[in-house]
Chains A and B, each alone.
Chain A
Amino acid sequence: MELNLLDLQTKLQGYGVLISFSGRFTQEIIEELGDAVKKYLETESTSKNDTYNVFSVFIEQTQNIKNYSVSKAGGLLGDRIANSGIVAIGKSEAGYFVSSGNFIENKDIAALAGRLEEILAQDKAGLKKMYKDQLKKEIPPDCTGAGLGLIDMARRSSKPLTYSMVRLDDELSFFTLKVYA
């Protein structure tokens, strides 16, 4: 099937997508896209706080995806996971949003869903407490993450986080997370 870029672009714009990237995330790509997001919002005369929140959610989402693929690198599914990243920053009537997606191993689904449900069950004060507890927790030295990203996004989000997990085959599922900044 011939790639129809106009069709792809029209679809993206139909969803309100302003900037998107699909492919392997590297720190350089995250930094450049982050700058692009910031510059775009600044020219749109968005408030400093909105700009900050969108940028912040963008960094947490993309670094989560990158760290997850780093943790799977060298494994049998490493390449499939590393190439599966996608992020879209857009604007809808409800405000700016950052959506991201990537492949995750089916065996990791239960823990991730449990974590997200735990976060979704909290109110503002509960999230703050969760964040602070996690901030002070000792973390193992080989751990790349601090376990704070999802809580932080939930705290910044103007609406509850939404997520989905679609099973692709016996090994992988596609995970998406949408955050209204």
Chain B
Amino acid sequence: MERLSIEKTKSTPEVLFDPETCELRIEGQSYPENAFKFYEPVLAWLDDFLRQLDREVVLEFYFNMPYINTRSSKCVMMLLEKLENAYVGGKGVAVRWYYDTDNETALECAEEFKEDLTLPFEISAIEAEK
């Protein structure tokens, strides 16, 4: 499978999905003009990847999204549901969600996403960029 790499813009995050290392990352603010259009290829790539993911391998999904508008939240939820389904289906999936220590809202946002999921979901504070 090909890597998926999307560069960061002011209103869209960097997306880096590496099928070799099984590391998937989304980093940055997300409030694009059309969130569904932005996340469509991301979700499609993930579908293909999860389908062929070996049961022995653990997929690590890193998030660091300081600001997410509601339309992007909807897309992130769709993405997390795909990961949850894969996990429930017996595949190795772990989510690590990073937030800046002084961004309480980002923490609350992560906690709300985590609430309804059963997959391993670790939330960690990191020092804010100065």
Which residues from chain A sit less than 8 Å from chain B, CB to CB?
27, 31, 34-35, 48-49, 52-53, 55-56, 59-60, 63, 66, 128, 132, 135-136, 139, 141, 144-146, 148-149, 151-152
Contact = CB atoms under 8 A, between A and B. Distances in A.
A45 to B, nearest CB: 13
A55 to B, nearest CB: 7
Closest 4 A/B residue pairs (Cβ): A148-B70, A146-B74, A27-B33, A152-B70
B67 A56 contact: yes
Interface in B30-45: 31-36
A49 B67 contact: no
A148 B72 CA distance: 10
B77 A63 contact: no
A144 B77 contact: no
21 contacts: A27-B32, A48-B103, A49-B103, A49-B104, A49-B105, A52-B103, A55-B67, A59-B69, A60-B70, A63-B33, A66-B33, A128-B112, A136-B81, A139-B74, A144-B34, A145-B71, A146-B71, A146-B74, A148-B70, A148-B71, A148-B73
A146 B102 contact: no
Interface residues of B, number: 22
A52 B68 CA distance: 11
A99 B108 CA distance: 25
| Binding site secondary structure of chain A | helix
Interface of B: 10-11, 31-36, 67, 69-71, 73-74, 77, 81, 102-105, 112, 116
A125 to B, nearest CB: 13
Nearest to B101: A48
Contacts of B11: 27, 31
A52 B77 contact: no
Contact of A63 (B31, B73, B103, B116): B31
A63 to B, nearest CB: 7
Given A27-B33, A35-B10, 19 more contacts: A31-B10, A34-B31, A48-B103, A49-B103, A53-B105, A55-B67, A56-B69, A59-B69, A63-B69, A63-B71, A132-B112, A132-B116, A136-B77, A139-B74, A144-B71, A146-B35, A148-B70, A148-B73, A152-B70
A154 to B, nearest CB: 12
Contacts of B36: 141, 144
Residue of B32, B70, B71 most packed against chain A (CB within 10 A): B70
A42 to B, nearest CB: 12
Nearest to A66: B33
A135 B116 CA distance: 12
Contacts of A139: 74
Given A60-B70, A144-B34, A152-B70, A135 B104 contact: no
A135 B73 contact: yes
A170 B35 CA distance: 34
Nearest to B33: A27
A172 B34 CA distance: 26
